[in-house]
Amino acid sequence: MNIISFAGWGPVNYFFWLLLLAAFVVEAWAFVDVLRQQKAAFPAAGKQTKPIWLILTGVAFIIGLGGAIGQLAIFSFFPIIAFVVAAIYLADVRPKVGQFKRASSSSRQGPYGPW
């Protein structure tokens, strides 16, 4: 009951497995980043709420894990959708939420540091 059987794989199979592995890393990064953000930063940045992004990136993380260990080869469009969700978060939501976080922390600082 091996999860991934490398026997009989050609270069194309290794290439696509490496792509799935790289996509899983991106999905994990997005999920961990959502966990680290403040809840109030999402609506303040004009984006969906933190619980919605936790669900989306969490499902993407699980699908990415399944793709990385070779369990979703039949449903090959699921890892693609999961990667797109993580990429949307990292490219669009994360920068806006990060600006809110930086702005709120800098507004509490006096001329010589935090109050």
Residue with more model confidence, 103 or 7? 7
pLDDT tens digits along 20-58: 899 999 999 999 999 999 999 999 999 999 999 999 999
- The pTM of the full predicted model, rounded to 2 decimals, is 0.79
Alpha helices in the chain (DSSP H): 11-36, 41-44, 50-68, 77-88, 94-107
Count CA atoms closer than 13 A to 13's CA, side-chain side.
10
Domain limits, the chain: 13-105
* CA pair distance 29, 42, nearest whole angstrom: 17
Terminal Cα distance for the chain, rounded: 59
